[in-house]
Copies of this chain bind each other. A is one copy, B any other.
Amino acid sequence: MSKKLTKRSEDYSKWYNELVVKADLAENSGVRGMMVIKPYGYAIWEKVQAELDKKFKETGHQNAYFPLLIPKSYFSKEANHVEGFAKECAVVTHYRLKNDEDGSIIVDENAKLEEELIIRPTSETIIWDSYRKWIQSYRDLPLLINQWANVMRWEMRTRLFLRTAEFLWQEGHTAHATKAEALAEAQQMHNIYADFLENFMAIPVIKGEKTENERFGGALNTYTVEALMQDGKALQAGTSHFLGQNFAKAFDVKFTTNEGKQDYVWATSWGVTTRLIGALVMTHSDDFGLVLPPNLAPIQVVIVPIYRNEEQLNAITKVANEMVAEFRKRNISIKFDNRTTHKPGFKFAEYELKGVPLRIAIGPKDLEKRTVELARRDTLTKEFVNQDEIVTKVEDLLEVIQKSLLDKATKFRDEHITKVDTFEEFKEVLETKGGFISAHWDGRVETEKEIKNLTKATIRCIPLDAPEEDGKCVLTGKKSTRRVLFAKAY
């Protein structure tokens, strides 16, 4: 709280970095590229987890846990997979330390592993190695499993939540008897992510498919949900992959069909990560700090007492405690901040910074009038509310805020999808307005790569709802049948 945040208009990137640290969401650790998720940030992640976990279980998935370390040789088994992942990984080579002669700690060179172990960058290979043992017959299918875990990718340039060497995620891995079932699963999870992002996190997303070039290593199709940040850059918020029979073939996972034949199973995988917290920050927050949708706010309502003496504080405390009890009955997360070590102004700034959706201030005059001052974090507006109506009012407002944040973000996003038909226009929009650019593309990987080289924009997705439309590729002028969405991205 010591000094103000950098303004978004001055330096969006700096604003983000400062906000994440000052709002106590996360910070860098003593280990390069690895973050500490602080209690306030972790409480948001717990809400993400709880809601997604419920949705996964409602659709028949079960959680399990697979090893952190994967033998190096497993990565060579699926050729496309290795291309996508094998490079930047943490490698375990030894399994013992010892005391050096001078008393310091050194690696015991006698304890070298025969085969190096890799900290999982994703778990397809170790999981499919297990599935071979678990699946014999169509009766064992579908196998619908999810894992909540930490994974590691040795990123060189890291940013809190958005790109860290270690991150937390969930990874679903399913096996099915038919192609149609596996495709339906990948699409179902894609829909669950979209629904969760929009209706729980208030982050509007575009549902689409990745181009071959942008697909997950080993996938035949990657479904993505793409969000748009306030600086006009896109953020891939979740992906769901149809893996065909690639992993089943690589790990020899066959099953006996209903008709007694042998076939390889069909697979999907899908995941979201702690980068969702980064997306949350960058979608809703402002120059004063975090703005949290009520669904994700660790504290939904805070009560701050305003008093000159202990007598006043006692009188306010009595009213506040009654309110707290009423709110708790309704499962509203409320905090009465009765710290005497900090002044109201300090507290106001703190909760503004931390994005608490509603703030109630109670002073001596409010006691006389039986009112409170109610302040909304998202609009920064205040009003006086009768104490008898405060609970209903807050209940209503929490819903209003949740919806209002989604509406506001949707409006911003929709205003930042620009149709362009020339490459000049493409570059112009990208550099000035930003956002998604809806343009024709000839479907060739070389064109996609060339556009990226020239502009840093990538194809975020081929939107599922994009209509057929004759046109010419924005770079090559070659024939195209529908528009795709380009953007610079996190």
Contacts and interface: CB of A to CB of B under 8 A. Distances in A.
A166 B68 contact: yes
Given A73-B105, A89-B95, 9 more contacts: A30-B129, A31-B70, A31-B117, A36-B64, A76-B105, A89-B96, A90-B92, A90-B117, A149-B150
A359 to B, nearest CB: 21
Interface residues of A, number: 64
A35 interface: yes
Nearest to A148: B148
B63 A130 contact: no
Nearest to A341: B139
A119 B95 CA distance: 10
Most B CB atoms within 10 A — which of A62, A68, A150? A68
A470 interface: no
A261 B155 CA distance: 43
A308 to B, nearest CB: 22
Contact of A129 (B29, B82, B107, B126): B29
Contacts of A64: 36-39, 42
B92 A29 contact: no
A8 interface: no
Contact of A89 (B62, B97, B118): B97
Nearest to A97: B86
A304 B172 CA distance: 30
A-B complex: 6 closest residue pairs judged by Cβ atoms:
A39-B62, A34-B67, A37-B65, A91-B94, A95-B154, A93-B93
A331 interface: no
Contact of A75 (B45, B105, B129): B105
User: How many monomers of this protein are in the complex?
Assistant: 2
B39 A69 contact: no
A9 interface: no
A210 to B, nearest CB: 24
A163 to B, nearest CB: 15
A98 B94 CA distance: 19
Contact of A29 (B75, B96, B126, B166): B126
A91 B97 contact: yes
A87 interface: yes
A449 interface: no
Nearest to A85: B97
A104 interface: yes
B42 A65 contact: yes
Given A90-B92, A95-B91, A31 B69 contact: yes
Interface in A102-134: 104-105, 107, 116-119, 126, 129-130, 133
